[in-house]
C-alpha cells in the first residue's frame, strides 16, 4: 500500500498531476483545489488512496489528511466510487462539503457530476453523523457557516467565478439583503471586495 508520495510536480494533465519521485512519475487524481494550488516544479506531499480493481490501478492524492478521510467516508456509501467521491469533493472545499452533509443539504451535494437527488440523499443519511464537524475549527477559515449560510449562493458563486477567494466573496455578500436582485447584490459586493 502506498500511504504518501513526496516529489516534484512535473506536469498537470486534465485532472491529473504528475509527481516525480526517485525517477518514477506517478499520475495522481486530485481535487480541483489541490490541482490549482500545485505548481509545476514545486515540491509536494500527498496522502494517497490506492485504488486497485481488476486491470485498473488509480492513485488519488490529497494534500490534507482530513480531505482523504472524507473521500474514504464517501466511498463507504453504496453507489459511490472513487471518481464520484472526487466529484463530490470538487463541489467546494472539503469543509463546505462536510457542512452540507451534516446539515442535509442534498441540493448542494447533487451539484456533483453523476450525483442525482437519490444518491445525494443516501450520502446524507449514511454520513450525516459521521463527518465529524465537531473536529473542525471553523474559525480557522474566517467564515461562519450555518445551515443557510453556505458559500454556494448565486452572488457568492458569481464573485468566485470572477476570481475572488471564497473567503473574500463570502464576506462581501454576507450582509447584503438576499431579497435584492442578483445583479444588485453583485454590484454592492464588488464595491467592497478585494481580489
Is residue 145 included in any domain, yes or no? no
Residue 132: predicted pLDDT: 63
CATH number, position 178: 1.10.8
* Neighbouring C-beta atoms of residue 101, cutoff 10 Å: 27
Cα 166 to Cα 175: distance, rounded to the nearest angstrom: 15
What pLDDT was estimated at residue 83?
Answer: 92
- Profile the chain (195 residues) by mean pLDDT over runs of 10 residues: 93 92 95 90 95 90 94 94 93 86 89 90 90 49 40 66 70 79 79 61
Q: Is residue 143 part of a domain?
A: no
pLDDT of residue 193: 59
Q: Does the pTM exceed 0.85?
A: no
Interhelix angle for 94-102 vs 65-75, to 10°? 40
**Domain residues for 128?**
65-135
What pLDDT shows up at residue 59? Answer: 96
Please give the pLDDT value at position 161: 64
Task: Based on the fold, state whether residues 57 and 69 are members of the same structural domain.
Answer: no
Residues 97 and 55 in one domain: no
Cβ contacts of 42 within 8 Å, gap of 6 or more:
8, 9
User: Are residues 48 and 74 located together in one domain of the fold?
Assistant: no
Which of 54, 164, 150, 148 shows the shortest CA–CA distance to 95? Answer: 150
Residue 169 lies in a domain: yes
Classify the C-alpha dihedral 188-191-194-195 as positive or negative.
Answer: positive
- Asked if residue 167 belongs to a domain, the reply is yes
Distance CA 3, CA 93 (A): 22
Number of domains the chain contains: 3
Residue 142 lies in a domain: no
What are the cell numbers at 134? Answer: 465537531
Residue with cell 494517497: 48
Q: How many helices (H) and strands (E) does the chain have?
A: 9, 5
Question: Domain check: are 28 and 52 in the same one?
Answer: yes
Q: Decide if 147 is inside a domain.
A: no
Confidence (pLDDT) at 89: 93
Give a yes or no: residue 176 inside a domain: yes
Amino acid at each position: 500500500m502506498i500511504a504518501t508520495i513526496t516529489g516534484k510536480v512535473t506536469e498537470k494533465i486534465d485532472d491529473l498531476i504528475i509527481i516525480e519521485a526517485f525517477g518514477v512519475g506517478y499520475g495522481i487524481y486530485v481535487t480541483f483545489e489541490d490541482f490549482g494550488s500545485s505548481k509545476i516544479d514545486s515540491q509536494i506531499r500527498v496522502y494517497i488512496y490506492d485504488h486497485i480493481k481488476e486491470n485498473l490501478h488509480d492513485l488519488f492524492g490529497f494534500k490534507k489528511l482530513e480531505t482523504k478521510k472524507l473521500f474514504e467516508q464517501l466511498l463507504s456509501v453504496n453507489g459511490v466510487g472513487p471518481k464520484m467521491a472526487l466529484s463530490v469533493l470538487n463541489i467546494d472545499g472539503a469543509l463546505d462539503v462536510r457542512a452540507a452533509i451534516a446539515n442535509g443539504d442534498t441540493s448542494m451535494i447533487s451539484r456533483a457530476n453523476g450525483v442525482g437527488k437519490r444518491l445525494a440523499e443516501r450520502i446524507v443519511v449514511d454520513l450525516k453523523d459521521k463527518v465529524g464537524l465537531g473536529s473542525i475549527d471553523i474559525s480557522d477559515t474566517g467564515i461562519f457557516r450555518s445551515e443557510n449560510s453556505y458559500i454556494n449562493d448565486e452572488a457568492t458563486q458569481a464573485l468566485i467565478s470572477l476570481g475572488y477567494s471564497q473567503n473574500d466573496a463570502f464576506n462581501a455578500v454576507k450582509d447584503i439583503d438576499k431579497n435584492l436582485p442578483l445583479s444588485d447584490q453583485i454590484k454592492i459586493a464588488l464595491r467592497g471586495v478585494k481580489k
